[in-house]
Amino acid sequence: MDKRRGILVVSFGTSYEDTRKKTIGAIEDAVQKAYPHIPVYAAWTSRIIITRLLETTGEKIHNVSEALAQMKKDGISQVFIQTTHMINGIEYGSLKKEAAVWEDSFDKITFGKPLLSTTEDMKELIRIIADEFSKILNCENASKTALVLMGHGTKHHSNTSYAALDYMLKEMGYQNIHIGTVESYPSLAQVIPRLKNTSIKTVHLAPLMIVAGDHASNDMAGSSKDSWASQLTSAGYDVICHLKGLGEYPDIHHLFLMHLAEILK
């Protein structure tokens, strides 16, 4: 065991236990399997979810500072932080700011990139999504079927990643795959007009998020009139929801591992 080096996997977090095991837990396991001789630690950036979990289940999840304190205590001198965040946005910036306080406590603190950091990352994600939904995209009624992906969205300028990804989808020939976000642009309000004046009859909804948690279960697939499923149904479409986070895809694990490998060289 290389006790000088340590890997810290940092996620936003989720209070949904089932998706946590399949996504965040699966990514952490993939990292440990890839680097069996390096100790792997975990932390979440959402203090709200950390607090909620502690209050409801009694489980204590470390935030970034707490995880780094434990690594220091364990004798780690070189820290390699791999985020599972989608984009280089507010959460990733907060992570780096929090870790910067610990710079003098370690010989090295290095950061792996979020999932969508380069054009090649986006192309790879499109390939993964196309493979995952190949039966839908190539079905007998493919011309009447659309796939709408729900991203989180942010006020941070990195939100442009979602629009770029949508543009790239169209450029690569996936005219019936659309991207919207819960909290920014493009929203479902921009997606629905794109579906109009087409032959689309059925819309498949899936989260463009690492976990299929609260947003996927409620904002996307919920029964309220404001959910994406309800709005699309009201707009006249047959709606099918897929509650599977990106973190469940082995190829997504591989993409994160590629980012981690870049800083472990």
Q: What is the pLDDT of residues 195-242, one digit of tens each?
A: 998 999 999 999 999 999 999 999 999 999 999 999 999 999 999 999
Angle at which helix 119-132 crosses helix 250-264, to 10 degrees, equals 160
User: What is the rounded CA–CA span in Å between residue 31 and residue 35?
Assistant: 6
Given a contact cutoff of 8 angstroms between Cβ atoms, the answer to whether 245 and 212 are in contact is yes
Catalytic site residue 215?
A: no
Identify the CA nearest to 216 among candidates 28, 11, 23, 48.
Answer: 23
3-state DSSP call for residue 5?
strand
DSSP state of 133: T
- Please report which confidence band the pLDDT of residue 11 belongs to, taking 50, 70 and 90 as the band edges: very high
Examine the pLDDT at 2 and tell me if it is beyond 80. Answer: no
Phi and psi (nearest 5°) for 122?
-65, -45
Given a contact cutoff of 8 angstroms between Cβ atoms, the answer to whether 208 and 151 are in contact is yes
Examine the pLDDT at 1 and tell me if it is beyond 70. Answer: no
List the helix and strand counts (H, then E) for the chain: 12, 8
In the chain, the amino acid numbered 223 is S
**What is the arrangement of strands in the sheet containing 238-241, beginning at the earlier edge strand?**
177-181, 145-151, 202-207, 238-241
The two structure tokens encoding residue 186: 């493009």
Note the pLDDT of residue 155: 86
pLDDT tens-digit profile of 16-75? Answer: 999 999 999 999 999 999 999 999 999 999 999 999 999 999 999 999 999 999 999 999
Looking only at the bridges linking them, the beta strands covering 78-83 and 238-241 are: unpaired
Looking only at the bridges linking them, the beta strands covering 202-207 and 177-181 are: unpaired
pLDDT tens-digit profile of 130-173? Answer: 999 999 888 888 899 999 999 998 888 888 999 999 999 999 99
Q: Is the dihedral of CA 126, 192, 244, 39 positive or negative?
A: positive
Given a contact cutoff of 8 angstroms between Cβ atoms, the answer to whether 36 and 7 are in contact is no
- The catalytic position among 37, 62, 85, 152 is 152
